[in-house]
Structures are given as structure tokens and as C-alpha cells.
Chains A and B, each alone.
Chain A
Amino acid sequence: EAQVTQNPRYLITVTGKKLTVTCSQNMNHEYMSWYRQDPGLGLRQIYYSMNVEVTDKGDVPEGYKVSRKEKRNFPLILESPSPNQTSLYFCASSLSGGNEQFFGPGTRLTVL
């Protein structure tokens, strides 16, 4: 089944404790992206990747890191999480940059 998977789905952590949210797609898509969803703000793009080893900042990259060492995976790293990063995170992928994106199930992160 073609899909985007994220892990974990739910995470509660404390300020400053490094964490990684994994994202994987099995559709051989070149483009992958991370978003955060907050009430009243819609989805905002954090980082995106046009292809392996190519990443770029979205609208809200501060406090996040990403890497794209292989085509299928695009982990999101929070080196020192803070409470304002409490949010619902979605990973997405598409065939290329201009195409429709397929979204993962989301990761609900709470930073205490």
C-alpha cells in the first residue's frame, strides 16, 4: 500500500530533550516536506526536500533540523525542544515539487 508513515504518533517530552520524528514513504517520491498544524494558523511548512541531500527552509524552520540521506526517509529533529513546539506535525511527499502531496497520519508532540 502506498503510504507515508510517521513515528511516533504521540510524544510527550520535556524541554531540552532532543527528539527525532521519523518519516518514511514507499512511493519513490523525490519531494518530501514537514509541516506543523496549529489552531487558527493552518499548516505551516517547516522544511522541505526536493531530492536526496537537497533540503531547504520553509516558513517556520527555527528550532528544527532535517536530513535527507536517502530517498524514502526524511526525519525531523528537534535538538532542544521548547513548549512553543507543542503542535501536530505532518510529513508529506510528492512525485516532484509542484505535484499534489500525500500526507502521513501526523505526530502529536507535547513539550512540557
Chain B
Amino acid sequence: AQSVSQHNHHVILSEAASLELGCNYSYGGTVNLFWYVQYPGQHLQLLLKYFSGDPLVKGIKGFEAEFIKSKFSFNLRKPSVQWSDTAEYFCAVILYNQGGKLIFGQGTELSVKP
């Protein structure tokens, strides 16, 4: 079965540290890839997305992600985190030829210490 794996359940960083959150998916076909963020008590918001083209995509709030097709990965990065980045982050994959089926990873909770 298709799945999305996020490597870290909970990450704790100090402000200004660099961030990398891993995401791998298991599906051999064409995919659209997303990272969503959920701030405490809020709904999910889109951080960035990859459909095609340049595998390095930039999103809001200084986040970026790199799609590496050979590794089935779509890791999220930010050079310098802020306390306001404290949130839960979800990687998600849409299976292109399975209509709108969207599969989420388990989520990574990021805590940034001021």
C-alpha cells in the first residue's frame, strides 16, 4: 500500500538553528507533493508544493523543500528557525493517477526554544 513516512516524530531546536524534516513516500507513479503546517489550535495551511519542474521549491516563511525522485523523498528545510515556527508539519502526497487520493505522513512536531 502507498504510504508517506516522516522520519521524526518530535524535533526540538533552539532559535536560529537549521531545520531539516525528512519525508519519504512509497509510490512508483507520478505524484504531487506538499508540506502543510498546523500551528497550535489552528487548521492546516500550505507551506509549499511540488508538481513538476525545478525540484527545489520555495514556500512561505523561508521554508524550502527538495524533491529527489530517485530517493522518493521530499525533505523540508529552513536555514534558521524562529520561535514562531513551533507547529506540527505534515508531508502529503497526491497520487496523480488515483484521482484525488491524498496521503499524509504521521506529522512532525517542531518545538523551537527561544
Question: What sequence of 0s and 1s flags, for each residue 4-40 of chain B, a beta carbon within 8 Å of any chain A beta carbon?
Answer: 0010010000000000000000000000101010000
Total number of B residues with any Cβ neighbor in A under 8 Å? 25
Decide: B105 and A105 in contact? CB cutoff 8 A.
no
Contact A58 B96 (CB under 8 A): no
**Contact flag A100-B49 (CB < 8 Å), given A43-B90, A90-B44:** yes
Among A71-94, those with CB < 8 Å from B are: 90, 92, 94
Q: Does chain B have a CB within 8 A of A22?
A: no
What is the distance, in angstroms, from A4's C-beta to the closest C-beta of chain B?
Answer: 8
Could you show 29 A-B contacts with beta carbons less than 8 Å apart? A31-B100, A41-B106, A42-B104, A42-B105, A43-B92, A45-B102, A45-B103, A45-B104, A48-B101, A48-B102, A50-B99, A56-B99, A58-B101, A59-B103, A90-B44, A97-B94, A98-B32, A98-B94, A98-B96, A98-B100, A100-B34, A101-B46, A101-B102, A102-B46, A103-B36, A103-B43, A104-B43, A105-B42, A106-B43
| Contact call A44/B104, Cβ cutoff below 8 A | yes
Query: Using a CB–CB distance below 8 Å, which chain A residues touch chain B?
Result: 31, 33, 35, 40-45, 48, 50, 56, 58-59, 90, 92, 94, 96-106
B94-114 CB mask vs A (1 if < 8 Å, else 0) is 101001111111110000000
Interface centre among B42, B45, B104 (most CB of A within 10 A): B104
Tell me the nearest residue of chain A to B51, going by C-beta: A98
| Contact indicator B44/A103 (Cβ below 8 Å) | yes
Question: In the complex, what's the smallest C-beta–C-beta distance from A88 to chain B, in angstroms?
Answer: 10
- Residue ID in chain A nearest B9 by CB atoms: A40
A residues less than 8 Å from B100 (CB atoms):
31, 33, 48, 50, 94, 96-98
Q: How far is the CB of B40 from chain A (nearest CB, A)?
A: 12
Task: Report chain A residues within 8 Å CB of B96.
Answer: 98
Q: Are B43 and A105 in contact (CB under 8 A)?
A: yes
The answer for the CA separation of A83 and B90 in the assembled complex, in Å, is 26
From residue B51, how far is it (CB to closest CB) to chain A in Å?
Answer: 8
